[in-house]
Amino acid sequence: MPQLSVAAVARKLGIAPATLRTWDRRYGIGPAHHAPGKHRRYSAADVARLELMRDALLHGATPAAAAGYALSASLPHADPTTPPPIPDTGETTLRTRRSGSRLPLTDAGWHARGLARAATALDADAVRRVLDESITAVGAQTTWDLAVRPVLVAIAQRWADTGAGIEIEHLLSNCVTGVFGALAASTPTTTARPVLLAGMAGDRHQLPIVVLAATLAQRGVTCRSLGTDLPADALVAAIRRTAPAALLLWSQLSDTADPDLLTSLPRTRPGFRIFIGGPGWADVTVGPRVVWLSSLQEATDAISAVASAARPPQPNL
């Protein structure tokens, strides 16, 4: 049976490698056959139990309860397409006052439901608490995919249906920017060359860049976020100054996706990879050196792989 490394399992589950090690050390949920002093290697059954623990955490279980649930579950399931029911822990650490109707969330976990309640009540402190709890439990990437993104989609649906709720989206976006931004700034990184993240000139969508910086930081990738609406000459200056391992340019709208800019970027030694992200690039033809990343997980995986393999720049002698 194939054995996966800590890094490979972390990518599969969308959590930080350090979280996996903590789960193993504190709660005994790790590789079934791990010899002291050896690298952890996970079997398919080990990964399945970790998925159960992650899902239980997202539904509100404490780490100890989630680990106990995952360790006691029978594997494989009778029906591999249907996971076992996650027990109702009866634990609700979040209380918010009601404000307006509920957001339309389907099959959402506890953190998504708690985030929706707090955002709808315009309770910024509660929103930040839920985000912090979820990131601690399952990491930044899973928090975005299974908690934040479903709530943002539900808010957008409400606005499309009723024309109401823009204040909810603004508050949630500001809280996510603050929490994920603080995470990126406080997480130690190890890569030799940085990754540059920027929004195209005319694009003011900051949230995707902030979230990606946080997920990359949890992979140990050093990022330099240049913000949104970055002029072309400022981008060129930043590339020459930092000799990055990779560059990601975000464009939310097709009006700001400029393929001519991609071909005019300076060359560096060693070179750097060019990535683009955002729906604005979806229908734009780009050259072979440019890779479009269609999701947060794809972006985190691709950029972290390039940054980890990049050689440090050589000094001029």
Highest mean pLDDT among 69-73, 139-143, 228-232: 228-232
Kindly state whether residues 158 and 47 are assigned to the same domain: no
16 vs 290: CA distance, rounded Å: 27
174 vs 252: CA distance, rounded Å: 18
Lowest mean pLDDT among 57-61, 83-87, 121-125, 193-197: 83-87
Lowest mean pLDDT among 29-43, 78-92, 235-249: 78-92
Kindly state whether residues 247 and 205 are assigned to the same domain: yes
Give the CATH number, domain containing residue 49.
Answer: 1.10.1660.10
Kindly state whether residues 161 and 174 are assigned to the same domain: yes
Which amino acid belongs to residue 39?
Answer: H
Kindly state whether residues 197 and 228 are assigned to the same domain: yes
The angle at the Cα of 138, spanning 38 to 211, to the nearest 5 degrees, equals 115
Residue-wise pLDDT tens digits, 236-291 = 999 999 999 999 999 998 999 999 999 999 999 889 999 999 999 988 999 888 99
Predicted local distance difference test score (pLDDT) of residue 136: 86
> Parallel, antiparallel, or unpaired: how do β-strands 223-225 and 246-250 relate?
unpaired
Q: Which of 164, 185, 206 is the last residue of a domain?
A: 185
Q: Which of 185, 215, 240 is the last residue of a domain?
A: 185
Predicted local distance difference test score (pLDDT) of residue 151: 93
307 vs 9: CA distance, rounded Å: 19
Predicted local distance difference test score (pLDDT) of residue 210: 96
Residue 4 reports pLDDT greater than 80: yes
The mean pLDDT value for 13-20 works out to 79
Which amino acid belongs to residue 253?
Answer: L
Residue 64 lies in a domain: yes
Residue-wise pLDDT tens digits, 135-154 = 988 889 889 988 999 999 99
Could you count the other beta carbons within 10 Å of the beta carbon of residue 1?
5
- Please spell the DSSP secondary structure of 182-231, one letter per residue: HHHHHS----SS-EEEEEPTT----HHHHHHHHHHHTTT--EEE--SS--
Global pTM? 0.73
Structural domain including 148 reads 110-185
Better pLDDT: 175 or 97: 175
Domain tally for the chain? 3
Residue-wise pLDDT tens digits, 179-195 = 999 999 999 998 889 99
Predicted local distance difference test score (pLDDT) of residue 85: 47
Across all residues in the chain, what is the average pLDDT?
84
